């Protein structure tokens, strides 16, 4: 062994060895920070465990489940425990941070549905437009969950580089500077904590902030979005899973509500090519700022309960939009 080390030292300069050791130490420090310190990553992993535990509990009922997935608007909107206890609907709220990206959120949801279940797509419309390679947070979440397959495109295609996945465990300069600034200002490192999640993964917050209006839904679907939706439709058909869409609620000032609903109708009309859409008469436009917490798509606890009740009615009665209804609303002035 000593002779091997001697020969290695003779062939490789000590400076190079030092750089390699320093690089490895730096990488391991990044992995430790991302998995053990970064509050966003820690919260994502902890909340995922809560949601997974509840999903298993609902699966054990022996009844078909309703599995909701999407970004944080989904997490704040669906009281899955109430759907189960009050309405007898085994429901799972898989809403996680939109920063994970559409691919990771979708693949994560696939793990929680079985034949006979209903997959309720509650993705924010604008999040669909960002379909593509997963962002850094989605890469970190998948890698630390030991599920690199969540990074691969929905419907197949070139797999995401495993080497790039591991390299993305570094926190990034922006994250580090933000954390240092919060420490210096003695502010909380992250707005949300695990105490904001109930036993079923529904998210609440006491934070209230001034609201800007929610973003208009897109008026057309790009080629990449259509390809994703087609792959999602085919996956659900192959696995005998029913697929429906639920348009998130957003704060929209009263004077902007008519144009927002018109745009929503046009967006849902595009969605109908791939799946039914639950019939929410408000078309996602809510003009009472008191219904929202810290963003224009995060519902307060009270308004989330209202929305959950309405969704229970929509699911029980299979209330979905027709193409004729949406076409008329999209043409309205």
Domain boundaries, the chain: 38-331
Per residue in 216-243, pLDDT tens?
Answer: 999 899 999 999 999 999 999 999 999 9
Per residue in 84-123, pLDDT tens?
Answer: 999 999 999 999 999 999 999 999 999 999 999 999 999 9
Average model confidence (pLDDT) across the chain:
90
> What is the spatial distance between Cα 20 and Cα 271, in angstroms, rounded to a whole number?
51
Report residue 11's pLDDT band, with 50, 70 and 90 as the boundaries.
low
Tell which CATH classification among 3.40.50, 3.30.390, 1.10.3470, 2.20.230 matches the domain 38-331. 3.40.50
Q: Is the pLDDT of residue 163 over 70?
A: yes
Paired strand residues for 195:
none
Under 8 Å between Cβ of 151 and 160? yes
Report residue 172's pLDDT band, with 50, 70 and 90 as the boundaries.
low
Report residue 3's pLDDT band, with 50, 70 and 90 as the boundaries.
low
Q: Is the pLDDT of residue 186 over 70?
A: no
Of 147-156, 183-192, 249-258, 285-294, the one with minimum mean pLDDT is 183-192
Q: Is the pLDDT of residue 78 over 90?
A: yes
Query: Among all chains, which residue has been given the structure tokens 């997490």?
Result: 75
The Cβ-side half-sphere exposure at 297, using a 13 Å CA radius, reads: 22
- Comparison of pLDDT for 331 and 83, the residue scoring more: 83
- Comparison of pLDDT for 63 and 37, the residue scoring more: 63
Report residue 130's pLDDT band, with 50, 70 and 90 as the boundaries.
confident
Q: What is the mean pLDDT of residues 249-266?
A: 97
- Token output for 193: 């904590």
Under 8 Å between Cβ of 109 and 65? no
Q: Is the pLDDT of residue 173 over 90?
A: no
**Contacts (Cβ under 8 Å, ≥6 apart) of 15:** none
pTM of the entire predicted model: 0.90
Taking alpha carbons only, the member of 162, 95, 173, 110 closest to residue 134 is 162
Under 8 Å between Cβ of 95 and 61? no
pLDDT for 38 equals: 85
> What is the spatial distance between Cα 136 and Cα 100, in angstroms, rounded to a whole number?
8
Going 275 to 281 to 287 to 292, the CA torsion angle's sign is negative
Under 8 Å between Cβ of 192 and 42? no
**Contacts (Cβ under 8 Å, ≥6 apart) of 95:** 68, 69, 70, 71, 72, 73, 74, 75, 76, 77, 78, 122, 201, 203
Q: Is the pLDDT of residue 6 over 70?
A: no
pLDDT for 202 equals: 98
Distance between terminal CA atoms of the chain? 82
> What is the spatial distance between Cα 324 and Cα 322, in angstroms, rounded to a whole number?
5
Under 8 Å between Cβ of 213 and 253? yes
Phi, psi for residue 66 in degrees, rounded to 5 = -110, 110
């Amino acid at each position: 062994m000593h002779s091997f080390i001697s020969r290695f030292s003779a062939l490789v300069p000590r400076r190079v060895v030092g750089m390699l050791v320093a690089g490895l130490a730096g990488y391991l420090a990044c992995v430790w920070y991302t998995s053990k310190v970064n509050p966003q990553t820690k919260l994502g992993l902890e909340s995922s465990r809560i949601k997974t535990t509840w999903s298993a509990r609902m699966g054990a009922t022996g009844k078909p489940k309703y599995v909701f997935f999407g970004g944080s608007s989904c997490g704040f909107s669906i009281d899955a425990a109430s759907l189960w206890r009050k309405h007898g609907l085994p429901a799972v709220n898989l809403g996680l941070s939109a920063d994970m990206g559409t691919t990771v959120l979708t693949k994560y949801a696939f793990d929680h549905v079985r034949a006979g279940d209903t997959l309720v797509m509650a993705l924010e419309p604008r999040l669909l437009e960002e379909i593509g390679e997963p962002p850094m947070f989605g890469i970190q979440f998948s890698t630390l969950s030991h599920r690199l397959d969540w990074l691969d495109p929905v419907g197949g295609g070139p797999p995401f580089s495993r080497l790039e996945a591991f390299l993305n465990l570094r926190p990034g300069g922006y994250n580090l500077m933000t954390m240092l600034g919060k420490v210096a200002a003695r502010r909380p490192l992250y707005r949300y904590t695990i105490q904001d999640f109930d036993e079923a993964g529904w998210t609440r917050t006491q934070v209230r902030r001034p609201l800007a209006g929610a973003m208009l839904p897109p008026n057309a679907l790009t080629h990449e979005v259509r390809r994703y939706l087609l792959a999602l439709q085919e996956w659900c058909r192959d696995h005998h899973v029913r697929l429906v869409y639920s348009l998130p609620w957003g704060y929209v000032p009263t004077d902007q509500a008519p144009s927002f609903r018109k745009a929503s109708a046009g967006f849902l009309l595009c969605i109908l090519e791939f799946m039914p859409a639950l019939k929410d008469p408000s078309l996602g436009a809510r003009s009472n700022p008191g219904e929202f917490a810290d963003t224009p798509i995060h519902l307060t606890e009270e308004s989330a309960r209202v929305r959950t009740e309405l969704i229970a009615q929509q699911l029980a009665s299979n209330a979905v939009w027709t193409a004729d209804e949406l076409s008329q609303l999209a043409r309205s002035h």
